[in-house]
Amino acid sequence: MSDHPAPSPERLSRKVSDLAACSRAQAEQYIEGGWVKVDGEVVESPQFMVDAQCVELDPDARLEASEPATMLLHKPADLAFSDSVSLITEANRIEGDERRGIRTLQRHFSHLQPLMPLDDDASGLVVASQDPRTARRLKEDGAKLEQEYLVEIDGQAGPYTLSRLARGLSYEGRTLPTCKVSWQNEIRLRFAIKDVRPGQLRDMCAQVGLRVVAIRRLRIGRIGLNKMPVGQWRYMPVSERF
């Protein structure tokens, strides 16, 4: 039998503080930043209890605050808006997104809230965030942000179809503000519009005799879908603005 008593369990933050000769607060930043491994596995909780396990600090570790994450997702048309965050997993991050300098952390995938509603049967850009500042900004000012949609339609357009869509229609008892509408091709309309309510685009098209086949949101404010594949997502750096 060994004469050495088994080590007493202690918080990972204390272990890292001793290991790196740093303060407890700095140790917590290292851990929350995903720079610490316990027996080869990354642990992001400073309260995690360790005893005889092997604790390692990444030699490239940097002291930086762990910011709440905001993601941009290309939602498929067959997924409910409320379920869209289910696609935001490490496996679905768009290839090359790591060049934005944001490291994937497990904490980023919890408490995500989908923002700027999109019809369940529509595809396109969805914002999901765990940052209360982003949520507040989009809830308070989202109606002022111009959104861009591509709407595939079926039906015969008349000479005044675009002008009627752009002004004078109403939805759910309110007169709709002026928007910009143009033809992308013979079967697709492009809308630049603010304060879009669920079901509104389908209803607007129905009012001018057009049936909507598909809807895709391309842009919210200055943030675009660009060439992101369906079902994939990317981080939105704090330097980007809607």
Q: What is the mean pLDDT of residues 94-114?
A: 89
Please report the pLDDT score of residue 3 as a whole number.
59
Same domain, 136 and 155: no
Confidence at residue 4, expressed as pLDDT on a 0 to 100 scale? 61
Q: Are residues 200 and 242 in the same domain?
A: no
CATH number for the domain harbouring residue 152: 3.30.70.1560
CATH number at residue 18: 3.10.290.10
- Which of the pair, 113 or 110, is modelled with greater confidence? 113
Q: What are the pLDDT digits (tens) for 177-224?
A: 999 999 999 999 999 999 999 999 999 999 999 999 999 999 999 999
Mean pLDDT of 22-29: 87
What confidence score (pLDDT) does residue 221 get? 97
What mean pLDDT do residues 56-64 have? 87
Question: Quick one: 106 and 14 in the same domain?
Answer: no
pLDDT of residue 178: 96
Please check whether residue 65 lies inside any domain of the structure: no
Q: Are residues 167 and 215 in the same domain?
A: yes
Span 170-180, mean pLDDT?
A: 95
Do residues 213 and 156 share a domain? yes
Residue ranges making up the domain that contains 25: 10-57
Lowest mean pLDDT among 33-42, 119-128, 169-178, 202-211: 33-42
Same domain, 138 and 86: yes
Same domain (yes/no): 117, 157: no
Q: In which band, very low, low, confident or very high, does the pLDDT at 65 lie, cut at 50, 70 and 90?
A: confident
Highest mean pLDDT among 45-59, 80-94, 97-111: 80-94
User: Nearest-5° angle of CA 150, CA 156, CA 161?
Assistant: 65
The whole-angstrom separation of Cα 214 and Cα 119 is 11
